[in-house]
Amino acid sequence: MSETSSRKLRYAMVGGGQGAFIGAVHRHAIALDGQAELVAGALSSTPDKARVSGRELLLADGRNHGDWQSLLADELKRPAEERIDFVSIVTPNHVHYPVAQAFVDAGFHVVCDKPLVHTREQADALVAAVQRQGTVFGVTYNYTGYPMVRQARAMVRAGELGELRKVVVEYNQGWLSSQLESSGNKQAAWRTDPQKSGAAGAIGDIGSHAENLVATITGLQIESLCADLTHMVPGRALDDDASMLLRFAGGARGVLIASQINTGLENDLRVRISGTLGTLEWRQEQPSQLVHYPHDGPKRVFTRGAPWLHPSAQRASRIPAGHPEGFIEAFANIYAGVIEDIRARIEGRAADPLLADYPRVEDGARGVRFIERTVASAASAAKWTPW
């Protein structure tokens, strides 16, 4: 067994300190399989808070930094055998690009939260840098890590739905149905700030997940879209409600809804895919079930952990059927894919394709283009906007 195989990978985290929701989710997910350990970080944009957060996570003083630039400089000075194997970026959106670009240019593997960056130009530059450096770059569209999403993908790609005709995807939340950003809520504040969130609100925050879910399961490519973005809450600068029509290459049609003002709803992500031979439905709030409506037989309900599922779905499950798995496990599946890819490259072998299953930088770049095209469509008198 090689030295790399016999040890945990080392990672650093940028962002995710005190008061950050998603940073803890990423750390729990990475820890789930015992394949990597947090050894360094710059956990806040405020240096003192960053260091306090690092001490709480038991980071050594020498690797607990006040800013990401110091973190990167320190790692580059260390011997190769002591350096981190990858960095996880869990900051607000506006910090993604400079951190990701700098670490990729320095030759480090990267995992970045979504949406990837603010602009198409930044996305293109990042894709080019990853290709030039030959590094691993994962984007945490975590819903692609659910076993039943992978089962749906396998069924669609195997032609079990026939020729695809209609896709309906909805991501409904209610947590921003009032002006929560004015109450001191950190998560609401940066997500509704154009300087930090980017050109879009709900469509960037959760609509990007909806687009990625459709692309992952179906493989369909958007040809054009017609979007309506609005902010229902008075005084809000970015959209909190979005509806759009989609036209896909090959003739399929779609509807996408992303709304954060559906009062009382929690995290209602759902997708329905219909073809000439049947329909599939999946809901994130009932993640262990995938419903299949074949054209020539009764409804079938697939459940997570069953032995007759596709190998990619089985590989994404950790515990027997009937025991709930969910959000953190889906994140863990993304990280498991990234870690398998990193280990394979270090060890000079081919990655296991069932394990190295995760969204790449190219998926993140497509998501940025989707956000830009949506904003352009909403602002256009013609509405229908080519991809």
- The CATH classification number of 145-316+367-386 equals 3.30.360.10
pTM: 0.95
The CATH number for 9-143+331-359, chosen from 3.20.20.70, 3.90.1150.10, 3.90.1300.10, 3.40.50.720, is 3.40.50.720
List pLDDT tens digits, range 209-267.
Answer: 999 999 999 999 999 999 999 999 999 999 999 999 999 999 999 999 999 999 999 99
Between the CA atoms of 187, 192, 197 and 203, what dihedral angle is there, to the nearest 10 degrees? 100
- pLDDT, residue 20, reads 86
Could you tell me where in the chain the CATH 3.30.360.10 domains are found? 145-316+367-386
Q: Does 318 score more than 70 pLDDT? A: yes
Query: Which residues are CB-neighbours of 234 under 8 A, at least 6 positions away?
Result: 179
Separation CA 191–CA 149 (nearest Å): 27
Every domain range in the chain assigned CATH 3.40.50.720: 9-143+331-359
- What whole-number distance in Å separates Cα of residue 214 and Cα of residue 271? 8
Specify the pLDDT at position 199. Answer: 95
Alpha helices in the chain (DSSP H): 21-32, 47-56, 68-77, 93-105, 120-133, 147-157, 186-191, 194-197, 202, 208-218, 311-315, 327-347, 361-379
Residues 252-286: tens digit of each pLDDT: 999 999 999 999 999 999 999 999 999 999 999 99
Backbone angles phi, psi at 226, to 5 degrees: -130, 110
Per-residue pLDDT band for 382 (boundaries 50, 70, 90) equals confident
